[in-house]
Amino acid sequence: MKTILVTGGAGFIGSAVVRHLINDTDQTVINVDKLTYAGNLESLTSISDNERYHFEQVDICDANEIARVFKQHQPDIIMHLAAESHVDRSIDGPGEFIQTNIVGTYNLLEQARTYWTQLAADKKAGFRFHHISTDEVYGDLEGTDDLFTETTPYAPSSPYSASKASSDHLVRAWNRTFGLPTVITNCSNNYGPFHFPEKLIPLVILNALQGKPLPVYGKGNQIRDWLFVEDHARALVVVATQGEVAETYNIGGHNEKQNIEVVKTICHLLEELAPNKPAGVNQYQDLITFVTDRAGHDVRYAIDASKIAKELNWTPLETFESGIKKTVQWYLDNQDWCKNVQDGSYQGERIGLV
């Protein structure tokens, strides 16, 4: 049994990791989350009373508090997911992304290094710092058959992806310079239950149910590789516990879809699963509205996930078809969660697009 510290464990991917660790392993979990707009403890209600779960409301930029958490809980593995992650928000206000994603990662690395150097030899040998990143650090792909590999050069396009690229470089530098045992993963677009409603898939589902426009950037021909969040959570735990130090692993869903395909698929599923439409709506697809494209919008992302399959025996369990149906059904079944996110402090927030 190990103690795993998860930063950003109240976020979308982080909460999936925490639920997986508590439900499917014997590990103890320390959830460190600042609880910004995207952090939601309601996503962890099902496991919050488990004796192996502990929550710390701490900002990763707070060196003293992070040092205290390390000293108090004595983690064996750090899984670093805490990040500002929405591209539109990074365009509107890049400062928070620089602070959290770069300065926050630096601070976490330094506190982890101090903690690690003081560990007993056996615990020091088993310690891991797992940094979770994105395929957006690679920029976009020109050819229709090209894939991002672990050695693809970095070419970020947005303030968000540039800040994540910066944090990746810091993690590698702390490994090379100080010997801190690190591992990095870069993932494709996640989707699934508990996704904050500013992102494409939940935004489309909830807008459609309310009879609101379904905004699609440009012509909707941007291509993304879609990864079901629970598959990603499994992959992250495999890498954190079995990955080789100083290695990078790309995690993808093997599901390339144009954004317009994704939106039309959701509309088709809603026709089946939610046939009682809002007043004035004939077909959900009629709500699709094309809007001006995002500045610097990457056209295509696609992951080569062969390394993690070969070396760590991980492959996704969900196809896009099975995963998206589960996702739509989850949002239909969890309207209270959705309303709690959308009302109160969330009123007036700019809902962005992916």
* Residues tagged active-site: 135-136, 160
CB 269 within 8 A of CB 324: yes
- Name the E strands within the chain: 3-7, 28-32, 53-56, 77-80, 128-134, 182-187, 189-191, 214-217, 223-228, 248-251, 256-258, 288-291
DSSP letters, 164-179, are HHHHHHHHHHHHHHH-
CA–CA dist 81, 10 (Å, integer)? 10
CB 228 within 8 A of CB 244: no
- What angle is formed at CA 295 by the lines to CA 289 and CA 298, rounded to 5 degrees? 90
CB 14 within 8 A of CB 22: no
Please state, as a whole number, how many other Cβ atoms lie within 10 Å of the Cβ of residue 152: 18
- What angle is formed at CA 109 by the lines to CA 171 and CA 149, rounded to 5 degrees? 20
